[in-house]
Structure 1
Amino acid sequence: MRRLATLLLFIFIASNSYSQKKKLDTLPKPKWKVNGRLAFVFNQSSFSNWASGGQNTVAGNININYDFNYKKNNVNWDTRLLSGYGLSHISEKGYRKTNDRFELNSLLGIKTTTYWFLSFIANFKTQYTKGFDYSKEPKLLVSEFLSPAYLTFGPGMLWKKSDDLNLNIAPATARYTFVNEFFTKDSGKFGVDEGKTLAFGLGFNLSGYYKFALMKNIEMENILTMYTDYLANVGNVDLDYQTNLRFTVNKHIKMHMTFHTIIDDNSSSKIQFRQLFGLGMNYSFHEKVTY
């Protein structure tokens, strides 16, 4: 009798699990997922008659990120907008730019197997305002709006496990670099020949995205782009790698750390590195799911 009861219980649990799985499988999958997030980080330090010295500093950094994800049948279209601007004011030195970024990524995929897609990638990035090298005297203008600006696009193959893990391989990627005449009137810069304002490249592009939970309330996001040009400096690889660590305090307050590395001989002969740390407000101003 006991064995019969155990068998009936097992059959009940198995059938119930199957029916639950079937219900989940029949749930409609979202066609559009939209998520807009705003993050603001503020830092301030003040000194008055401080024996060991110090400089009064006020700094603020604002980031607006927008994600648009579309899925229907075999079509997968992901678009991400990354935008940020930051300023600091140091006593006796004035304002300094700490962050300046506008980047738009779009990736269209047509599913061929479970995780593989035929893809087309497009990327545009630039900055909003003028940037200066303050180590020079007088300060030296090194960038401004749309100078430089990069437009990259091309077909490829996408491997996508989820919205948080994907890798795109584009072996025939076109890349346009735009600059103002000011930066090339004396000598070429950003890979653009002297006296010109546009450079064209054709090369291999590898881009990847991976986001996961390190532990409870700690999220790590990795964004990678690698590019090598077939037409110039063959074998030389440009690298853009960014890591974001987010520590959740509550729904609207998070601690944020960013480590950003760029290797690009056309813009600088040295490795570029940017680090940001702060505690600030996070707000999702647009969240929408459409079936």
Structure 2
Amino acid sequence: MRRLSLLLLLVISTSFYAQKKKKDTLPVPKWKILGRFTFVFNQSSFTNWVSGGENTVAGDINVHYDFNYKKKNINWDTRILTGYGLSHLNGKGYRKTNDRFELNSLLGVKSGKNWFLSQFLNFKTQYTRGYNYKKTPPLPVSDFLSPAYLSLGPGMLWKKSDNSNINIAPATARLTMVSDFFSGQFGVDEGDNTAFSLGFNLASYFKFTVMENVEVENVLTVYSDYLDQPENLDIENQMNIRFKVNKHMKMHMTFHGVMDDNASSRIQFRQLFGLGLNYSFHEKVTY
């Protein structure tokens, strides 16, 4: 019930704030491409500070690449999300703060107003080994392609705009991959390197403007495995809030939560806040 309540809250909140767009009088673009680079820097320094504190330096780099294609009844959206972050703590060395690579591709054939027959593909993993530093010595908890998730399946897509869509795929195949070191974890049986599952997948994306110079982006994914405890939903939700300072500077807030019993028995949560450089390195529209 806790997971279902959280799911309903997330869907209602994103739908409530989604704003209606005026009909565009211009021709519908055939290609819309946007590549965005973001760098967020944080630094703390203490000298003879009686309250205490540790000197830290942290940097976080993110690259988002969006490709939107439209022609007659065909709609094809591809999004690449990748990021890496490090922090340096005085006396403790470097530690990861962010590590992500995700590819989403969604092909739709129009079947009605705002509705499409769809086929989606999702692949996600991380670049480098991660550790649980609460253990002594630190315990490895992930690595490149360990785990890696590949999901694909047919479904129905509701899409009002490039900034507002929900895809429902009731027959989604998912392949979980790990190295020999992590065999027996992430839902993979001991001695195996892969695990197959078949289930229900819901993915939604909403981006909207709350007020002038304040933009919110919300990405929600829900998965239920028919073959293994379907009542245990895997839920991932990331909300990005951007406060525009000028053309190239923005304040960034990220709230990222994950519920996945195969990865951890507890809710995973990541938060990022900082002033960052925002640069669109590839922006193109063709008709």
What is the one-letter code of the residue matched to 1:30?
A: P
- Distance in 2 (CA, whole Å) between partners of 1:275 and 1:25 is 36
How do residues 224-263 of structure 1 correspond to structure 2 at under 5 angstroms?
A: 224-263=220-259
Aligned to 2:40: 41
What is the one-letter code of the residue matched to 1:40?
A: F
- Distance in 1 (CA, whole Å) between partners of 2:42 and 2:100 is 20
- Distance in 1 (CA, whole Å) between partners of 2:135 and 2:90 is 19
2:196 maps to 1:204? no
What is the one-letter code of the residue matched to 1:109?
A: G
- Distance in 2 (CA, whole Å) between partners of 1:281 and 1:38 is 8
How do residues 158-177 of structure 1 correspond to structure 2 at under 5 angstroms?
A: 158-177=157-176
Q: Deviations over 1:114-168 (max 9, x none)?
A: 1100000100000000000000000000100000000000000000011111110
What is the one-letter code of the residue matched to 1:254?
A: K
Aligned to 1:275: 271
What is the one-letter code of the residue matched to 1:81?
A: I
What is the one-letter code of the residue matched to 1:228?
A: S
How do residues 142-181 of structure 1 correspond to structure 2 at under 5 angstroms?
A: 142-181=141-180
In the alignment of these two chains, the number of paired residues is 265
Aligned to 2:80: 81
Shift of 1:27: 4.2
Higher RCO, 1 or 2 (CA under 8 Å, sep at least 6)?
A: 2
- Distance in 2 (CA, whole Å) between partners of 1:26 and 1:288 is 19
How do residues 100-139 of structure 1 correspond to structure 2 at under 5 angstroms?
A: 100-139=99-138
Shift of 1:101: 0.3
2:135 maps to 1:140? no
- Distance in 1 (CA, whole Å) between partners of 2:230 and 2:94 is 40
- Distance in 1 (CA, whole Å) between partners of 2:50 and 2:31 is 58
What is the one-letter code of the residue matched to 1:196?
A: D
3-state DSSP class of the match of 2:112? coil
3-state DSSP class of the match of 1:182? helix
Aligned to 1:222: 218
TM-score (norm 1): 0.90
What is the one-letter code of the residue matched to 2:177?
A: F
3-state DSSP class of the match of 2:181? helix
Stretches of structure 1 lacking an aligned partner (at least 5 in a row): 1-23
Stretches of structure 2 lacking an aligned partner (at least 5 in a row): 1-22
- Distance in 2 (CA, whole Å) between partners of 1:251 and 1:201 is 45
Shift of 1:234: 2.1
Q: Percent identical across equivalent pairs?
A: 70
What is the one-letter code of the residue matched to 2:228?
A: A
Shift of 1:51: 1.7
Q: Deviations over 1:55-92 (max 9, x none)?
A: 11000000000000000000000000000000000001
Q: CA RMSD in A?
A: 1.1
- Distance in 1 (CA, whole Å) between partners of 2:122 and 2:68 is 16
Aligned to 1:193: 189
Aligned to 1:266: 262
Shift of 1:290: 1.1
